[in-house]
Amino acid sequence: MHESKKTKKIMNQETFMVQRVLKVKEKVKKLRKGNRENEITIIMFQCINAEEIVHNDMSMIDLNDLAWLIDQNLKETDRRLEKVDNNGHINQVMTTQS
C-alpha cells in the first residue's frame, strides 16, 4: 500500500473514532440527565407520600432541581386541564406543547 493511501486510511479511522467518541459522550450525557430526572422524580414522590421533605440533607442544587421538576409537572397538568372544559369535554382548540 502506498504511503498516501496508508495516511488517508489512518485519517479516516481517526475521524471515525473521534465521531464514535463524540456520539458516546453525547449518549452518556443524555443518560446522566435522564438518571438525574428519575432520581429527582423519586424524591418528589417520596415527599408527596410523606407530605414533607423527606431528605433534610438535600443540597441547594437538589432543591432547585426538585422545584424545577415540580414546576414542569404543574405546567403539564395545566396544559392538560386547558384541553378539558368545565363539562369534561375535550376542547376543539388544542394548545401547542413546548
**How far, CA to CA in Å, does 67 sit from each of 2, 40, 43, 44?**
62, 10, 11, 9
Note whether residue 35 is domain-resident: yes
**pLDDT greater than 80 at residue 12:** yes
Note whether residue 87 is domain-resident: no
Q: What's the pLDDT tens digit per position in 18-70?
A: 999 999 999 999 999 999 999 999 999 998 898 777 777 889 999 999 999 99
Q: What's the pLDDT tens digit per position in 89-98?
A: 766 555 454 4
List beta partners, residue 84: 90
**Structural domain total, the chain:** 1
> Cα–Cα distance between 49 and 33 in angstroms, integer?
24
Domain of 60 in residue numbering reads as 3-78
